[in-house]
Amino acid sequence: MYEKTDNDWSDIVAPKDGELQSLATMLADLSVRNIETFHYVNNHFEGSAPRTIARINELLK
């Protein structure tokens, strides 16, 4: 991931749309069942943790 980002963690460089959709589906199901969850996102997942979090939030709307 370091090579892809050149240590600039401000953009998504390796989108994982399918994985995010699966994650959002699981989180929505847990929410409906009133199960508290905590989400930890690392820059190495897609290239930018804050942008990945925003993408997850959009999927959960």
Q: How far apart, in Å, are the Cα atoms of 23 and each of 5, 19, 49, 52, 60?
A: 24, 6, 15, 12, 10
* Locus of tokens 């600039």: 8
Domain ranges for the chain: 14-60
Query: What digits encode the pLDDT tens for the residues 15-56?
Result: 999 999 999 999 999 999 999 999 999 999 999 999 999 999
Give the end-to-end CA distance of the chain in Å, rounded to a whole number. Answer: 29
Q: Give the CA distances from residue 55 to residues 3, 43, 51, 61, in Å, rounded to whole numbers and listed in that order.
A: 23, 13, 6, 10
Identity of the amino acid at 53? I
Q: pLDDT band at residue 14, thresholds of 50, 70 and 90?
A: very high
